[in-house]
Protein backbone atom coordinates (compact mmCIF):
# COMPACT_ATOMS: atom_id res chain seq x y z
CA UNK A 1 0.00 0.00 0.00
CA UNK A 2 1.32 3.42 -1.03
CA UNK A 3 0.43 6.36 1.22
CA UNK A 4 0.98 10.12 1.11
CA UNK A 5 0.87 12.30 4.24
CA UNK A 6 -0.15 15.96 4.50
CA UNK A 7 0.58 17.25 8.02
CA UNK A 8 2.02 20.64 9.00
CA UNK A 9 3.58 19.42 12.27
CA UNK A 10 7.09 18.16 11.56
CA UNK A 11 7.04 15.82 14.54
CA UNK A 12 3.71 14.26 13.67
CA UNK A 13 4.60 14.05 9.98
CA UNK A 14 7.83 12.24 10.75
CA UNK A 15 6.15 10.11 13.39
CA UNK A 16 3.41 9.00 10.99
CA UNK A 17 5.99 8.21 8.35
CA UNK A 18 8.00 6.04 10.75
CA UNK A 19 4.93 4.24 12.10
CA UNK A 20 3.58 3.47 8.65
CA UNK A 21 6.92 2.21 7.42
CA UNK A 22 7.10 -0.09 10.47
CA UNK A 23 3.74 -1.50 9.35
CA UNK A 24 5.13 -2.24 5.90
CA UNK A 25 3.40 0.72 4.24
CA UNK A 26 5.31 2.68 1.61
CA UNK A 27 5.16 6.44 2.26
CA UNK A 28 5.66 8.01 -1.17
CA UNK A 29 5.50 11.63 0.04
CA UNK A 30 5.14 13.56 3.30
CA UNK A 31 4.26 17.24 2.78
CA UNK A 32 3.29 20.16 4.99
CA UNK A 33 0.44 21.78 3.06
CA UNK A 34 -2.45 21.13 0.68
CA UNK A 35 -0.72 22.52 -2.40
CA UNK A 36 2.21 20.19 -1.89
CA UNK A 37 -0.16 17.26 -1.49
CA UNK A 38 -2.05 17.98 -4.71
CA UNK A 39 1.21 18.35 -6.65
CA UNK A 40 2.52 15.06 -5.27
CA UNK A 41 -0.70 13.21 -6.10
CA UNK A 42 -0.73 14.62 -9.63
CA UNK A 43 2.82 13.35 -10.15
CA UNK A 44 2.21 9.84 -8.76
CA UNK A 45 -1.20 8.98 -7.27
CA UNK A 46 -0.94 6.79 -4.13
CA UNK A 47 -3.48 4.34 -2.75
CA UNK A 48 -4.40 6.57 0.21
CA UNK A 49 -3.73 10.13 1.35
CA UNK A 50 -3.62 10.82 5.10
CA UNK A 51 -4.56 14.48 5.46
CA UNK A 52 -4.75 16.81 8.46
CA UNK A 53 -8.01 18.81 8.46
CA UNK A 54 -6.23 22.08 9.32
CA UNK A 55 -3.29 22.94 7.08
CA UNK A 56 -1.37 26.14 6.21
CA UNK A 57 -1.78 28.94 5.47
CA UNK A 58 -4.98 29.64 7.46
CA UNK A 59 -5.20 26.37 9.45
CA UNK A 60 -8.98 26.22 8.98
CA UNK A 61 -10.24 23.80 6.32
CA UNK A 62 -7.43 23.54 3.75
CA UNK A 63 -7.12 19.81 4.36
CA UNK A 64 -10.84 19.23 3.80
CA UNK A 65 -10.86 21.29 0.62
CA UNK A 66 -7.84 19.37 -0.65
CA UNK A 67 -9.63 16.10 0.16
CA UNK A 68 -12.66 17.18 -1.87
CA UNK A 69 -10.40 18.05 -4.82
CA UNK A 70 -8.82 14.60 -4.54
CA UNK A 71 -12.23 12.94 -4.56
CA UNK A 72 -13.23 14.81 -7.72
CA UNK A 73 -9.99 14.51 -9.69
CA UNK A 74 -8.58 11.20 -8.44
CA UNK A 75 -11.59 9.15 -7.23
CA UNK A 76 -9.47 5.99 -7.05
CA UNK A 77 -7.28 7.56 -4.36
CA UNK A 78 -8.55 6.98 -0.83
CA UNK A 79 -8.61 9.89 1.61
CA UNK A 80 -8.27 9.56 5.39
CA UNK A 81 -8.70 12.86 7.24
CA UNK A 82 -7.17 13.33 10.68
CA UNK A 83 -8.42 15.93 13.15
CA UNK A 84 -7.60 16.93 16.71
CA UNK A 85 -11.29 17.50 17.48
CA UNK A 86 -14.60 16.34 16.05
CA UNK A 87 -15.84 18.73 13.36
CA UNK A 88 -19.16 17.35 12.15
CA UNK A 89 -19.51 19.63 9.14
CA UNK A 90 -16.29 18.34 7.63
CA UNK A 91 -17.29 14.72 8.20
CA UNK A 92 -20.60 15.27 6.37
CA UNK A 93 -18.83 17.12 3.53
CA UNK A 94 -16.50 14.18 3.08
CA UNK A 95 -18.98 11.29 3.12
CA UNK A 96 -21.86 12.99 1.30
CA UNK A 97 -22.33 12.69 -2.43
CA UNK A 98 -21.55 10.10 -5.05
CA UNK A 99 -17.79 10.04 -4.34
CA UNK A 100 -18.24 8.72 -0.81
CA UNK A 101 -16.26 5.48 -1.25
CA UNK A 102 -12.70 5.26 -0.04
CA UNK A 103 -12.94 8.00 2.58
CA UNK A 104 -12.37 8.23 6.31
CA UNK A 105 -12.37 10.68 9.22
CA UNK A 106 -10.48 9.83 12.41
CA UNK A 107 -9.37 11.69 15.49
CA UNK A 108 -5.59 11.86 15.85
CA UNK A 109 -5.78 9.95 19.13
CA UNK A 110 -6.64 6.83 17.10
CA UNK A 111 -3.20 6.84 15.47
CA UNK A 112 -1.67 5.57 18.71
CA UNK A 113 -3.50 2.26 18.19
CA UNK A 114 -1.44 0.94 15.28
CA UNK A 115 -3.68 -2.05 14.56
CA UNK A 116 -6.79 0.12 14.37
CA UNK A 117 -5.04 2.75 12.28
CA UNK A 118 -3.63 0.18 9.88
CA UNK A 119 -7.07 -1.44 9.56
CA UNK A 120 -8.61 1.96 8.80
CA UNK A 121 -6.03 2.60 6.06
CA UNK A 122 -6.67 -0.79 4.50
CA UNK A 123 -10.42 -0.24 4.58
CA UNK A 124 -10.15 3.17 2.92
CA UNK A 125 -7.69 1.83 0.32
CA UNK A 126 -10.20 -0.91 -0.50
CA UNK A 127 -12.95 1.64 -1.11
CA UNK A 128 -14.63 1.48 2.29
CA UNK A 129 -15.74 4.32 4.55
CA UNK A 130 -14.31 4.84 8.04
CA UNK A 131 -15.70 7.22 10.64
CA UNK A 132 -14.33 7.71 14.14
CA UNK A 133 -16.82 6.52 16.80
CA UNK A 134 -16.78 10.02 18.33
CA UNK A 135 -17.65 11.54 14.96
CA UNK A 136 -20.60 9.17 14.58
CA UNK A 137 -21.80 9.93 18.11
CA UNK A 138 -21.72 13.69 17.63
CA UNK A 139 -23.43 13.47 14.24
CA UNK A 140 -26.22 11.47 15.82
CA UNK A 141 -26.53 13.83 18.80
CA UNK A 142 -26.74 16.80 16.47
CA UNK A 143 -29.43 15.22 14.30
CA UNK A 144 -31.50 13.55 17.05
CA UNK A 145 -34.79 15.12 18.13
CA UNK A 146 -37.66 12.74 18.85
CA UNK A 147 -37.79 9.35 17.19
CA UNK A 148 -38.14 10.39 13.54
CA UNK A 149 -39.40 7.03 12.32
CA UNK A 150 -42.71 7.60 14.11
CA UNK A 151 -43.56 10.24 11.51
CA UNK A 152 -43.02 8.02 8.47
CA UNK A 153 -45.57 5.93 6.59
CA UNK A 154 -44.81 2.21 6.16
CA UNK A 155 -43.77 2.83 2.54
CA UNK A 156 -41.46 5.69 3.54
CA UNK A 157 -39.89 3.43 6.16
CA UNK A 158 -39.24 0.80 3.47
CA UNK A 159 -37.65 3.43 1.25
CA UNK A 160 -35.44 4.69 4.08
CA UNK A 161 -34.40 1.14 4.99
CA UNK A 162 -33.20 0.57 1.43
CA UNK A 163 -31.45 3.96 1.42
CA UNK A 164 -29.56 2.79 4.52
CA UNK A 165 -28.35 -0.21 2.50
CA UNK A 166 -26.67 2.27 0.16
CA UNK A 167 -29.12 1.85 -2.72
CA UNK A 168 -29.78 4.57 -5.26
CA UNK A 169 -33.30 5.82 -6.00
CA UNK A 170 -33.39 3.61 -9.09
CA UNK A 171 -32.36 0.55 -7.07
CA UNK A 172 -35.00 1.36 -4.42
CA UNK A 173 -37.64 1.66 -7.14
CA UNK A 174 -36.64 -1.72 -8.57
CA UNK A 175 -36.71 -3.41 -5.16
CA UNK A 176 -40.16 -2.02 -4.29
CA UNK A 177 -41.53 -2.34 -7.83
CA UNK A 178 -42.53 1.30 -8.02
CA UNK A 179 -41.43 4.16 -10.27
CA UNK A 180 -38.29 6.16 -9.62
CA UNK A 181 -40.48 9.28 -9.52
CA UNK A 182 -42.49 7.72 -6.68
CA UNK A 183 -39.25 7.04 -4.79
CA UNK A 184 -38.18 10.66 -5.23
CA UNK A 185 -41.50 11.80 -3.72
CA UNK A 186 -41.06 9.47 -0.76
CA UNK A 187 -37.47 10.67 -0.21
CA UNK A 188 -38.58 14.30 -0.29
CA UNK A 189 -41.32 13.50 2.23
CA UNK A 190 -38.77 11.79 4.50
CA UNK A 191 -36.55 14.89 4.41
CA UNK A 192 -39.52 17.09 5.28
CA UNK A 193 -40.71 14.91 8.15
CA UNK A 194 -37.18 14.76 9.56
CA UNK A 195 -37.00 18.57 9.47
CA UNK A 196 -33.69 18.38 7.63
CA UNK A 197 -32.25 21.72 6.44
CA UNK A 198 -32.32 22.41 2.74
CA UNK A 199 -28.55 22.33 2.18
CA UNK A 200 -28.29 19.77 -0.60
CA UNK A 201 -29.97 16.37 -1.04
CA UNK A 202 -26.66 14.52 -0.56
CA UNK A 203 -26.20 15.93 2.97
CA UNK A 204 -29.85 15.32 3.84
CA UNK A 205 -29.61 11.75 2.59
CA UNK A 206 -26.63 11.08 4.90
CA UNK A 207 -28.42 12.59 7.91
CA UNK A 208 -31.63 10.67 7.15
CA UNK A 209 -29.73 7.37 7.08
CA UNK A 210 -27.92 8.26 10.32
CA UNK A 211 -31.25 8.86 12.04
CA UNK A 212 -32.56 5.55 10.73
CA UNK A 213 -29.51 3.69 12.03
CA UNK A 214 -29.78 5.45 15.39
CA UNK A 215 -33.45 4.51 15.78
CA UNK A 216 -33.01 0.88 14.76
CA UNK A 217 -29.92 0.39 16.96
CA UNK A 218 -31.26 2.19 20.04
CA UNK A 219 -33.03 -0.76 21.60
CA UNK A 220 -36.50 0.16 20.34
CA UNK A 221 -39.20 -2.37 19.58
CA UNK A 222 -38.81 -1.81 15.87
CA UNK A 223 -38.00 -4.79 13.66
CA UNK A 224 -34.33 -5.28 12.74
CA UNK A 225 -32.98 -3.96 9.48
CA UNK A 226 -33.42 -6.08 6.39
CA UNK A 227 -30.75 -8.70 5.67
CA UNK A 228 -27.65 -7.14 4.13
CA UNK A 229 -28.45 -3.66 5.41
CA UNK A 230 -25.73 -1.37 6.68
CA UNK A 231 -25.36 -1.36 10.47
CA UNK A 232 -23.41 1.23 12.42
CA UNK A 233 -20.18 -0.08 13.95
CA UNK A 234 -17.14 1.50 15.53
CA UNK A 235 -15.79 2.39 12.11
CA UNK A 236 -18.36 2.09 9.34
CA UNK A 237 -21.38 4.15 8.36
Q: Are residues 26 and 126 in the same domain?
A: yes
Let me know if residue 231 belongs to a domain: no
Q: Are 122 and 162 members of one domain? A: no
Tell me the mean pLDDT per 10 residues along the chain, length 237.
95 93 94 96 97 90 90 92 78 63 86 88 90 73 60 89 88 94 92 74 76 62 39 35
Maximum distance among all Cα pairs of the chain, rounded to whole angstroms: 56
Structure confidence at residue 136 (pLDDT): 72
Q: Does residue 6 sit within a domain?
A: yes
Residue 9: its pLDDT value, please? Answer: 92
Residue 223 belongs to some domain of the structure: no
Question: 53: domain range?
Answer: 2-132
At 228 the three-state DSSP class reads coil
Q: Is residue 137 part of a domain?
A: no
**Are residues 7 and 113 located together in one domain of the fold?**
yes
Pick from 235, 197, 195, 10: which is nearest to 115 by CA?
235
State residue 60's pLDDT score.
Answer: 84
| Residue 175 falls inside a structural domain | yes
Same domain, residue pair 192 and 106: no
Residue 39 and residue 153 share a domain: no
* Statement to judge: residues 116 and 151 lie in one domain: no
CA dihedral 197→201→202→203, nearest 10 degrees, is: 0
Same domain, 81 and 49: yes
Question: How far, in Å, CA of 146 to CA of 121, rounded?
Answer: 36
Q: Kindly report the CATH number assigned to the domain that includes residue 109.
A: 3.40.50.2300
The total number of structural domains that make up the chain = 2
**Same structural domain for residues 121 and 158?**
no
Cβ density class 117-132: b for 16+ within 10 Å, e for less: bbebbbbbbeebbbbb
Q: Does 153 lie in the same domain as 89? A: no
Note whether residue 225 is domain-resident.
Answer: no
* CATH (domain of 186): 1.10.10.10
Closest-CA residue to 80 (of 128, 45, 22): 128
Considering the domain architecture, whether residues 185 and 121 belong to the same structural domain is answered as no
The CB density around residue 145, as the number of other CB atoms within 10 Å, is 8
Whether residue 114 is found in the same domain as residue 9: yes
* Of the candidates 141, 158, 146, 127, the residue with the CA atom closest to the CA atom of residue 210: 141
Report how far residue 91's alpha carbon sits from residue 21's, in angstroms, rounded to the nearest whole number.
27
Residues 115 and 158 in one domain: no
- Residue 218 has a pLDDT of 45
User: What's the first-to-final CA gap in the chain, in angstroms?
Assistant: 23
CA triple 145-148-154, angle to 5 deg: 175
Amino acid sequence: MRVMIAEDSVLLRQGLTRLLEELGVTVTAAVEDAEGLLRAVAAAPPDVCVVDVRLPPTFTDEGVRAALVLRRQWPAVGVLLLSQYVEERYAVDLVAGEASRGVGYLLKDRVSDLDEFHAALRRVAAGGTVLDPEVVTQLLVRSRRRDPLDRLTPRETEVLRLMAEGRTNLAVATALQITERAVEKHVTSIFTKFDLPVDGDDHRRVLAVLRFLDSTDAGTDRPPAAPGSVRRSAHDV
